[in-house]
Structure 1
Amino acid sequence: MTDPIRIGVLGTYSTGKTLLLKRIEMELRGHGLTVARTSGLGKRAAAAGLPKMQHHTVASTEWIIAQGIADEITAAQGADVVLADRAAIDAVAYFTAAMEYRGERPRRLERERLRLLASTQVPKYDLLLATVLDESVPVEHKHSHDPRYRRLVDAHTHSLLADDVVPHRRVTSEPDSQAHGIELALNLCLKEAVV
């Protein structure tokens, strides 16, 4: 059995990550590929009593990274493609944004440990798509909306990707950018399926 193709999406909330993954999934399934998608980490963290969004802690961030890793391993069983809603590095961006939002600084060793844990997962992704905040797009009602925190997560997401020189593609809310992200994923998966 070969390893599946892994595509991760990350970015601040209400920037179209889930919709982008659904569209990619539909395209891939339409070409006969078996697709598994991970999701729901934030909801499960809250159900476990862990803080989230601007209240993230070291423990909640570590849980999200570890659970995301476990979810991706489970999803990979028998799938041609794994679509990860919230690639591991995403959790670090949410955490660092929460710390800045609260005016706190994490201890250096904790911050480095979380970044290292997330960075061990980066090589597993064949494609990372990072959504870009467009504040003119309305926020979904399912999120408690704090514009400042949302901007901080966006800034920290793109800063982490740049600082760690993580290969990725930026995806804006523009239809052409969305279509290009879907096309990149589709071409990658179809090329690998043929090999």
Structure 2
Amino acid sequence: MVIGEVEKPVVVAVTGTHSTGKSTFLARLAHELRRVQVQVSTVADLGEQAQRIGLPILRNHTWLSTEWIITKGISDELGAWVHADVVLVDRPVSDALGYYRAALAHRGDRAEPRVMARLERIVRDHSVFYDLLLRTTLDPDIPLGCDKPRDADAEFRSLADHHVAEVLHDLDLPHRLLPADGHDQALEDSLGLVLDRLAGTRDGRP
């Protein structure tokens, strides 16, 4: 798809609470795409990077850390557009907003309406660039992963799951569910959608 003078790649994003298989699913999808000679770029989760520069995350999210993750994520995604046929996004911009809402609920706080409205506007406007948005579903029987620093509070993990889903609903962002036991089918469906979009672009269709 051409937007103005820019060729937009196919963009697939996966959102959801921690330890629900987002990174694993995207790694599998990247592998399958590369097997058929598709050039892929992956935009990684920014939580650890935010933490390294001193920004609070998870239950301590503030509007500042949320806006940094959203705007840095947008920058990283757009930068990846020029290098790939397909861009895979581990945590789209809506994800940070869901975690901020979860943090506020956990603390019993409320965001300033103007701040929340700005964040929601940025998320809504940028999300139109996702060709496929998937939301993982939480299976509480699956333990937290140990490959990266995570919040070990099961209650907050569930709270984040709820608010990530609520953001998609409130902002009316089209998405598909990625159930814990349905990754194989979702992988097949996602691969088919991406290859169809690529074929349409190469055939000159929008």
Regarding TM over 0.5, the answer is yes
Which residue number corresponds to residue 75 of structure 1? 80
Shift, 1:193, TM fit? 2.2
Structure 2's unaligned 5+ residue stretches are 1-5, 201-206
| TM-score, reference length from structure 1 | 0.95
Which deviates more, 80-89 or 70-79? 70-79
Is residue 43–residue 77 contact of structure 2 (8 Å, CA) maintained in 1?
yes
Secondary structure of the 1:124 match is coil
What does residue 97 of structure 2 align with? 92
Normalized against structure 2, the TM-score is what? 0.91
Q: How many angstroms apart in 1 are the aligned matches of 2:132 and 2:114?
A: 29
CA contact (8 A) 1:97 1:156 kept: yes
Gaps of 5+ in 1: none
Question: What letter corresponds to residue 8 of structure 2 in structure 1?
Answer: D
Deviation at 1:88, TM superposition (A): 0.4
Q: 1:161 aligns with which of 154, 163, 168?
A: 168
Amino acid at match of 2:166: S
> Aligned residue for 2:203?
none
Q: Please state how far the C-alpha of 1:31 moved relative to its aligned partner.
A: 1.1
Out of 87, 109, 133, the position equivalent to 1:104 is 109
> Does the alignment pair 1:60 with 2:58?
no
Secondary structure of 1:137's match? coil
1: CA distance, partners of 2:117 / 2:199: 40
The ranges of structure 1 where at least 4 consecutive aligned residues each deviate by more than 6 angstroms after the TM superposition are: none
Query: Percent of aligned pairs with the same residue?
Result: 38
Matches within 5 A, 1:3-42: 3-42=8-47
TM superposition shift of 1:144: 2.8
Give 1:53 deviation, angstroms: 0.4
Shift of 1:13: 0.5
Could you report, residue by residue, the CA deviation over 1:44-81 in whole angstroms, capped at 9, with x for unpaired residues? Answer: 10111100000000000000000000110111112000
Rounded to whole Å, the distance in 2 between the matches of 1:99 and 1:19 is 29
Say what the alpha-carbon RMSD is for the aligned residues.
Answer: 1.1
